Amino acid sequence: MAKRYSKPDQRLLHMLEADAITRRMDTLTRRGERMLDLPCGYGRFTAHALRRGLQVSVADINPDMLELVQQRLGPLDSHCCRSDCLPFPDNTFDTALCVRLLQHLHEREVRVATLRELARVTRRGIIATIYDRTRLHRVLHGKRNLKRLHRYSPESLHDELEAAGLSLVKARRILPGVHAQQVLMLRPAA
């Protein structure tokens, strides 16, 4: 586990987030299918996908992360790229995973382009995380966090998903009433 999860509250959130995401992966994926992990980071969820028998491609804008994930997990199909212009043909993957990225994209156009690209390269579904606007999170973390992370309102989430050609299947809060992170299951709109 990375240093960032060293405090008790961070370990709890990591555990809850990992549980929610791996449950969604277990529901959405089948052995042998192709999955994109974007951004892969150090491979927190790549490892679970590989254990499930998925064919995983990893992508990240940071080449150091791609090197790190391969040091941890062995050779992988890896791509250094931006999230808003993915180097894959349409429908390359059965599913995609997009954890802890959207809240760091401050411009709506980049978030929508990222979601649109994920929809384009994915046939069946996407697991993504977002931060929403909760009053308690604002009180606990103050204004320092508000400028650093993009937070969705229900209206802005709906608007961006619609603009990207996606629909929301399911949303689950990591720690309801306390933490602002949600795990979403998305699918290309019919």
Strand order through the sheet with 122-131: 77-80, 55-60, 34-37, 93-98, 122-131, 181-188, 166-173
pLDDT above 80 for 178: no
Q: Please tell me the number of Cα atoms within 13 Å of 4 on its side-chain side.
A: 6
Superfamily of domain 7-188: Vaccinia Virus protein VP39 (3.40.50.150)
Give me the pLDDT at residue 11, please: 84
pLDDT above 70 for 21: yes
Q: Domain residues of the chain, as ranges?
A: 7-188
Averaged pLDDT score across all residues of the chain: 89
Residue 116 vs residue 5, higher pLDDT: 116
**Residue 188 in contact with residue 122, Cβ under 8 Å?**
yes
H or E element that contains 51: helix 46-51
* CA distance to 45, 113, 136, 185, per residue, from 172 (Å): 18, 23, 17, 9
Report DSSP state, residue 94: E
Other beta carbons within 10 angstroms of residue 101's beta carbon come to 20
Give me the mean pLDDT over the 2-15 stretch.
Answer: 73
Beta bridge partners of 70: none
pTM to 2 decimal places: 0.89
pLDDT above 70 for 147: no
Which residues touch 177 (CB under 8 Å, ≥6 apart)?
134, 136
Give me the pLDDT at residue 75, please: 96
Other beta carbons within 10 angstroms of residue 21's beta carbon come to 21
Residue 185 vs residue 133, higher pLDDT: 185
138: confidence class by pLDDT, cuts 50, 70, 90: low
pLDDT (tens digit per residue) in 64-84: 999 999 999 999 999 999 999
Residue 80: which of 104, 49, 58, 50 has the closest Cα? 58
Give me the pLDDT at residue 128, please: 96
Amino acid at 18: A
Residue 165 vs residue 15, higher pLDDT: 165
Q: State percent of the chain over pLDDT 90.
A: 68
